[in-house]
């Protein structure tokens, strides 16, 4: 029984990150390509994100999900989903923050500077 629970936990901890990143693949690939100015670099960073999301989820599940005798399947699935979701959330949050800092924040600063310059009649 413990072996089945372990395999179920590992299956969920690999499948969920792949599903989420599959959903985000197109938009992340475009943003990373724009940020890196290269499709090869974007592919590298996306694959790195996949590895980090999957390995982080597996580490959390292996470390914290109970797999001893007497644990119900429902409890294992619930714990696995919680820890896998935490791993996926962390990976996506790190990427979102990086994209924000490298692309959005500078664009907002430039737009604010342009607005200020236009309001004051431009550079004299």
Q: What is the largest CA-CA distance in the chain?
A: 78
Confidence at 106, pLDDT banded by 50, 70, 90? confident
DSSP readout, 18-80? HHHHHHHHHHHHHHHHHHHT-HHHHHHHHHHHHHHHHHHHHHHHHHHS--STT--HHHHHHHH
pTM listed for this prediction:
0.70
What confidence tens digit (pLDDT) does each residue in 64-76 have?
777 666 777 788 8
What confidence tens digit (pLDDT) does each residue in 16-29 have?
999 999 998 888 88
Domain ranges within the chain, ordered by starting residue: 2-91
How far, in Å, CA of 112 to CA of 107, rounded? 9
What confidence tens digit (pLDDT) does each residue in 85-102 have?
888 898 888 888 888 888
Tokens 């029984």 locate to 1
């Amino acid at each position: 029984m413990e072996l089945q629970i372990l395999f179920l936990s590992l299956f969920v901890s690999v499948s969920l990150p792949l599903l989420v990143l599959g959903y985000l693949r197109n938009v992340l690939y475009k943003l990373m390509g724009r940020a890196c100015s290269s499709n090869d670099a974007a592919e590298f960073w996306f694959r790195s994100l996949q590895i980090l999301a999957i390995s982080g989820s597996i580490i959390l599940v292996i470390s914290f999900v109970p797999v001893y005798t007497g644990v119900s399947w429902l409890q294992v699935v619930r714990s696995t989903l919680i820890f896998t979701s935490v791993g996926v959330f962390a990976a996506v949050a790190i990427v979102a923050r990086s994209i924000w800092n490298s692309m959005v924040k500078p664009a907002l600063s430039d737009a604010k500077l342009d607005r200020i310059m236009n309001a004051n009649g431009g550079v004299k």
